[in-house]
Each structure stands twice: as structure tokens, then as C-alpha cells.
Structure 1
Amino acid sequence: MNEVIEVLVVDDHPMFRQGVVHSLGQEPGFRVVGETASGEEALMLAQALLPTVVLLDISMPGWNGIVTAERIAMACPATVIVMLTSSEDKDKLLAALKAGARGYVLKGVSARELAQVLRAAVDGEVYVSPSIAAEMLVSLTQRKAPDPLQELTDRERTILSLIGLGRTNREIGDELHLAEKTIKHYVTNILQKLQVRSRVEAALLASRGPSSGS
């Protein structure tokens, strides 16, 4: 890890890019070997210079950062790609990681923090800015909670509502003109789909109706 980390900085805002170049130049163990405002030129420079790290903005005219990351990852697999962006869009974060980026850093970090992230990325770690990582986790956990009642067929819902009224399998069978054995199979399916152990739990879940809080 004593080797100098060579960085190519890619950002279409000249003042911001120059600020990053200057800041990294002050950090021990770093050398900025190139800078550009375009993704197309970034690929050519990456192939010519073979930097340790390419620091990429996402929103650029022409090739955006995602496309550029994909092209550089294919052409220079040994080069580490880190996105430095103001975008907190979770889809862009996922697309960047899928394209081969090993870091997703929001603009506004200090030069010291950026240097730490780049060192970690070169060491093989994946880094995502904490604020967007936390948001991502929240949205993923929320998405993972579909309403189990939606999994039931119309017939299963009818049987569940009759269970809720306290009917036995035989009574439900008589009402629906089905064999008691058939009702028993339906009940087993219902319990499995709702991930509950008993008719009572199933009836309680049904009485609550669709997910509360919607």
C-alpha cells in the first residue's frame, strides 16, 4: 500500500474538477495523472495512462458516468472506478455498481475522506456514502413486505373469511358444496401462504385486512 495511487479525474464542471485535482494533489500517496470533461476522452486516457483509480461524475454530456464506467471496466479491468457525484438517485447507484464502480461518493466530502475512500477501494472494499446507503436499506426493507393476503386466490379468500366466522371445515364444505377433505387442503395452503401456524392466526390476519398504514 506504499505505492502511489494514480488518479484520473473526470468531471464536466471545470472549477469542481480543478478543486478535486488540487485537493488530491495535496494528499500524501496520491498523484493526479490526468483530467477530462468527457467520458469518451476518459476511456482513451484510461487506456493510455492505466491509472490506479478513475474518479467519475455521473451527469456528463455525451457518455454519462454509467456508460463510461462500463467501457473503462471492460477496457481496463485493473483500474478501480469510483463515482463522485451529487446524485442521490438509488437507481443510478445500483446502475453504477452494476457497471463496475467500486465506490459511490456524494460531492461535498472532504479531501481527507475522499482519499480514505479511494485507498479503501484500491484495497478491494466497496464504499457507498452513508446517507444514500441508509436510504437504500430502508427502501429495500419496505419493498420486501408485500401483503400476504394478496397471495390468496378468490376461493381461498372466501374460505378464510368463513374461518374468521368460526366455521369448521365440514361447515365450510357444506356451504361451498365441497368435500371436507378438499377444504382441509385449502386451509393448509392458506396457512402456508400467510406463514401462520393455526386457523386462529389466519383469522386474526384476515380480520386486520390489507397491510395497515396504507
Structure 2
Amino acid sequence: MTDAIRVLVADDHPLFRQGVVNALGAEQGFSVVGEAGCGEEALSMAQDLLPDVLLLDISMPGWSGFATAEKVATACPATAIVMLTVSDDHDNLLAAFKAGARAYVLKGVSPRKLADVLRSVVAGEVYVSPPLASGMLVSLTRDKAPDPLQELTEREREILSLIGTGLTNREIGERIFLSEKTIKHYVSNILQKLQVRSRVEAALLAKGNTR
């Protein structure tokens, strides 16, 4: 039997937040480990609980969902961030992914579909609500940085360098004292930022930029 997916729900509307908690509670394989009403609280709880998934609203008092996502992505890279929002604005969508989100889901989604999305992001996939997906692809193509390596953090550059030497996730983790699961999430972020599909493509892109 597989372990339940541990979820932290962050939304400043208690009634909506409770609805999400109840919906996930009715789905098999999920455990809601905490609820937060603001970004600061979400970061603190994420650091304490290390959930598999953080469900995060964009508009909250204090830190925005973007600022919160960026801080949680840095502090807890093994936690997959899923934006659950009413906003269908493409700029918000892109800002969410740039901040470290792995999925962007519009509120009103069915409990079953939300559960499916959470399972997919924990498995390393990326998800965007279908009505927004085509627009995001156009924007990403238009806004792609001349040098995508500039989008990587210092830690991501270090891991990409080790990928280029042929090390596995486990070997990289042993080298820099992080868990294999954490390295896997870093690698997923690197592939997403570089807009490539495999470790080999990422390594080749990095090698090409060092010539």
C-alpha cells in the first residue's frame, strides 16, 4: 500500500479552504496535514510539515501567492506547489510557474480532477487547466529568455553540472548531501526552466552554452 499524499492547503477564505479539505478527505490516498490562511503561515507550516503538495491561492493578505510560492520552492524544493485560483490571467499563470509552481488549476474544478492533478504533480508532471494551456505555450515561446540557463538558481546550476557528468539522482544527492527525492524535484524544475524533455537534453544545452 502506498503512502498517502500529504497536502497543505493555503487559502484566506475559511469556507472555501474547508471545502477543499473535505473534498480531498473524500478521495482515497490523501491526507491534509495542515491549513494556512496567509503566505507567511504557509511557509512556516511547509517548513515544519514538509508536505508533498502545497495548494496555494494567489490572492491572500500579506505575501501574494507568487511570493509565497517562491519562498516555499526555495525552502522546501521537494514540495510540489499547485496554484488553485479564480484567475485565468496569462500573466498570473506565467508568474506562478516562474515562482516555482508545478500546476495551475482554476477554482471550480471537480474534486476528482483536483485529486488527479495532485497525483500527477507528485509523480513529477506539470499541469495547466486546459482553457489556459494554449495561451501559456504561445507566451512561453514569445518570452523565452535568450539564455535559459540564466533562469537557474545557483543550486540548480550545480545539479545540472553534476547531471552532465553522468551521475544519477542518488549519486548527486550523496555528493551534495540532499535526498534522492529532493534531487528529483530539482531536476524537474531544471527541465521545466530549460524547456527540455530529458536530462540528456539539459546536459547538452548546458555544454553548448559553455563553449
Q: Rate the CA distance shift 1:94–1:117 in 2: closer, same or farther, 3 A.
A: same
Aligned to 1:54: 54
Q: Rate the CA distance shift 1:142–1:68 in 2: closer, same or farther, 3 A.
A: closer
Aligned to 1:84: 84
Structure 1 vs Structure 2 CA RMSD: 1.9
Aligned to 1:150: none
**Length-normalised TM-score, structure 2:** 0.65
Q: How far has the Cα of 1:142 moved from its partner?
A: 9.1
Question: Cα deviation per residue 1:43-101 (whole Å; 9 max; x = unaligned)?
Answer: 00000111110000001111010000000001111111000000011111111101110
What is the count of residue pairs matched by the alignment? 144
Query: What SS is found at the alignment partner of 1:35?
Result: strand
**For 2:72 and 2:137, how far apart are their aligned partners in 1?**
28
Q: Rate the CA distance shift 1:2–1:131 in 2: closer, same or farther, 3 A.
A: same
CA contact (8 A) 2:9 2:21 kept: yes
Query: What SS is found at the alignment partner of 1:31?
Result: strand
Matched, 1:105 2:92: no
Aligned to 2:23: 23
Aligned to 1:14: 14
**For 2:103 and 2:125, how far apart are their aligned partners in 1?**
8
**For 2:141 and 2:103, how far apart are their aligned partners in 1?**
22
Q: How far has the Cα of 1:140 moved from its partner?
A: 6.7
**Length-normalised TM-score, structure 1:** 0.64
For 1:134-149, what aligned pairs fall within 5 Å after superposition?
Answer: 134-137=134-137
Q: How far has the Cα of 1:102 moved from its partner?
A: 0.4
Q: Decide which structure has the larger Cα Rg and report it.
A: 1
**For 2:108 and 2:120, how far apart are their aligned partners in 1?**
18
**For 2:48 and 2:64, how far apart are their aligned partners in 1?**
20
For 1:63-212, what aligned pairs fall within 5 Å after superposition?
Answer: 63-137=63-137
Q: Rate the CA distance shift 1:49–1:142 in 2: closer, same or farther, 3 A.
A: closer
Q: Rate the CA distance shift 1:141–1:126 in 2: closer, same or farther, 3 A.
A: closer
**For 2:139 and 2:80, how far apart are their aligned partners in 1?**
28
Q: How far has the Cα of 1:36 moved from its partner?
A: 1.1
Query: What SS is found at the alignment partner of 2:33?
Result: strand
**For 2:37 and 2:139, how far apart are their aligned partners in 1?**
33
Specify every segment of 5 or more residues in structure 2 that has no aligned partner in the other structure, as ranges: 144-211
Aligned to 1:2: 2
Question: Cα deviation per residue 1:138-184 (whole Å; 9 max; x = unaligned)?
Answer: 667899xxxxxxxxxxxxxxxxxxxxxxxxxxxxxxxxxxxxxxxxx
Q: Rate the CA distance shift 1:74–1:141 in 2: closer, same or farther, 3 A.
A: closer
Q: How far has the Cα of 1:114 moved from its partner?
A: 0.2
**For 1:56 and 1:5, how far apart are their aligned partners in 2?**
16
Query: What SS is found at the alignment partner of 1:113?
Result: helix
Q: How far has the Cα of 1:136 moved from its partner?
A: 3.2
**For 2:56 and 2:142, how far apart are their aligned partners in 1?**
31
Specify every segment of 5 or more residues in structure 1 that has no aligned partner in the other structure, as ranges: 144-214
Query: What SS is found at the alignment partner of 2:58?
Result: coil
